[in-house]
Amino acid sequence: MSPVTDRKLLATVLGLRQERPPVWIMRQAGRYLPEYRETRKAAGGFLELCYTPELAVEVTLQPLRRFDLDAAILFSDILVIPDALGQKVRFEVGEGPLLEPLDAEGIDRLDKSRVLEHLAPVLETVRRLRAQLPDDKTLIGFCGAPWTVATYMLNGRGSPDQWTARRFALEQPEAFQRLMDILVEVSIDYLAAQLQAGADVVQIFESWALNLDDAAFARQVNEPNKRIVAGLRQRIPDAPVIGFPRGAAGNIAGYAAATGVNALGIDYAAPLDFVRNTLPKHLPVQGNLDPLRLVIGGAAMDNQVRAILAAFADRPHIFNLGHGIVPETPIAHVERLIELIKQG
């Protein structure tokens, strides 16, 4: 392997500021790309795509063929974990993920003994990717954070306010804790396996770190994320981790300190001045363009890109969106975005 500094994105996660920030795009493999839609159709189902290394490698690499990105992110989904635990997951076109909602008895029926066996094809995808990627490209592995994954497991689908899961956590604290404990344990195994298979860095997606009061944030977000980082570092002492607590607002600094992540993903609603003034000066940040500005393009995009570059110019910064790219995004706007970041 080449020295760490050849992989600019990894180096930035490790705290080394780059002249121009490295860039990747959250959800960069996906429906805004015609070649993705084609491979997806050929695969049949979405999970078939995730569990077929040949196809998963292909869709992971598609965005890198078009754009000068600094990283590939493994093509998979955060919901392969409930699937591997035996809770059936379906992805219906236009509906998002659908699961059989879990109750307390369902939690006790989850089977953690076969998670890595079930996810072997995903780990094979990681191995093939590292073998095929150029040396200077960082390979990002990932999982969903326990709370975010639990919101889907308990409600059976996405919801705007995570009501079912927040209610379950308060009303059935012991069963809820059993679920968190299972998710923490299997997430450590899964992330460690991804790093061992060749991922350079892993990101923990806490996409629903919002709508939580102080005590709920501490228990449902900080604590499980901290346990994952600590558990991972017990196995792999220098494991590089990006945390992305979307919507954490006033909790971002507390999250970074409590969990010990190397770098912090910032959502687009976080004010730039607030981020600058709240986080430790040397903490690497990742973000945070509103995906809507990438859809609109023009000055609406360019001006905000420049503001983000300026706000984080004095610290390690990975340019990214503040949430996932959406299907209606014009490809030409993505090209323009990369050009702006690479050339200023």
Binding region for ligand CP3 (CB under 6 A) = 27-31, 40, 46, 73, 75-79, 91, 93, 96-97, 142, 158, 205, 207, 324
- Determine which one of 51, 70, 77, 227 is catalytic: 77
- For 154-203, the DSSP string reads HHSS--SS-HHHHHHHHH-HHHHHHHHHHHHHHHHHHHHHHHHHT-SEEE
Q: Residue 82 or 284: which CB sits closer to ligand CP3?
A: 82
Q: Residue 101 or 324: which CB sits closer to ligand CP3?
A: 324
Minimum Å gap between C-beta 310 and ligand CP3 is: 26
Minimum Å gap between C-beta 296 and ligand CP3 is: 19
Minimum Å gap between C-beta 30 and ligand CP3 is: 4
- Determine which one of 27, 90, 157, 219 is catalytic: 27
128 an active-site residue? no
Which of 142, 141, 1, 137 has its CA nearest to residue 63?
A: 137
Provide the token pair at 322. Answer: 């503040």
Minimum Å gap between C-beta 69 and ligand CP3 is: 10
Q: Residue 266 or 315: which CB sits closer to ligand CP3?
A: 266
Q: Residue 206 or 223: which CB sits closer to ligand CP3?
A: 206
Minimum Å gap between C-beta 153 and ligand CP3 is: 12
Residue nearest to ligand CP3 (CB): 207
Exposed / middle / buried, residue 195 (Cβ in 10 Å: 0-12, 13-18, 19+): buried
130 an active-site residue? no
77 an active-site residue? yes
- Determine which one of 6, 17, 20, 31 is catalytic: 31
Taking phi over 0 as left and psi of -120 to 50 as alpha, with beta for the rest, 326 belongs to beta
How far does CA 65 lie from the centroid of its chain?
Answer: 21
Provide the token pair at 212. Answer: 């939580």
152 an active-site residue? yes
Q: Residue 142 or 168: which CB sits closer to ligand CP3?
A: 142
- Residue 207: how many CB atoms within 10 A of its CB? 22
- Determine which one of 32, 36, 51, 152 is catalytic: 152
276 an active-site residue? no
Exposed / middle / buried, residue 266 (Cβ in 10 Å: 0-12, 13-18, 19+): buried
Dist. CA 7–CA 336, nearest whole Å: 23
> For 120, which DSSP code?
H
- Determine which one of 7, 32, 36, 40 is catalytic: 40
Residues annotated as catalytic (active site), given as ranges: 27, 31, 40, 77, 152
